[in-house]
Amino acid sequence: MPAKKAVAAPKKPAAAKAAAQPTVTLKHLAAELAKNHDLPKSQAEAVLGDLVALTTKHLKKGDKIRLTGLGILQVRKRAARMGRNPATGAAIKIKASKKVAFRPSKELKEAV
């Protein structure tokens, strides 16, 4: 007698996609600010745009930015190091660089 083959249950990829979180953009934040503070959307977008520009300017200068209740943004230097090309396995030299680091505040950590 031939053995019966087990039938695998079909996978449901749609459930995984439904769990994905939406992305909130500056436009979304500006719209909420405008609604909460009775401002025109264009003015709220301009304020957030200026915030991004000022943040960039100060980080370029090397300043540390403390946003109370949110955290600290600062530029950190990464030293040159040796790495590996994943395709060939050959050793390569990675040059020194700078990166923006974010350290969340205690309030943010507890809220999340």
Give the model confidence (pLDDT) of 23-39 as tens digits: 999 999 999 999 999 99
Please say if the pLDDT value at position 13 is more than 90.
no
pLDDT at 21: 87
What's the predicted TM-score (pTM) here?
0.70
Whether 74 contacts 100, CB under 8 Å: yes
Q: Is 30 exposed, middle or buried (0-12, 13-18, 19+ CB in 10 A)?
A: buried
3-class DSSP state for residue 97? strand
Three-state SS across 7-59? CCCCCCHHHHHHCCCCCCCHHHHHHHHHHHHCCCHHHHHHHHHHHHHHHHHHH
Rounding to the nearest 10 degrees, give the CA dihedral for residues 44, 48, 54, 55: 160
pLDDT at 20: 85
Q: What band does 17 get if pLDDT is binned at 50, 70 and 90? A: low
Please say if the pLDDT value at position 74 is more than 90.
yes
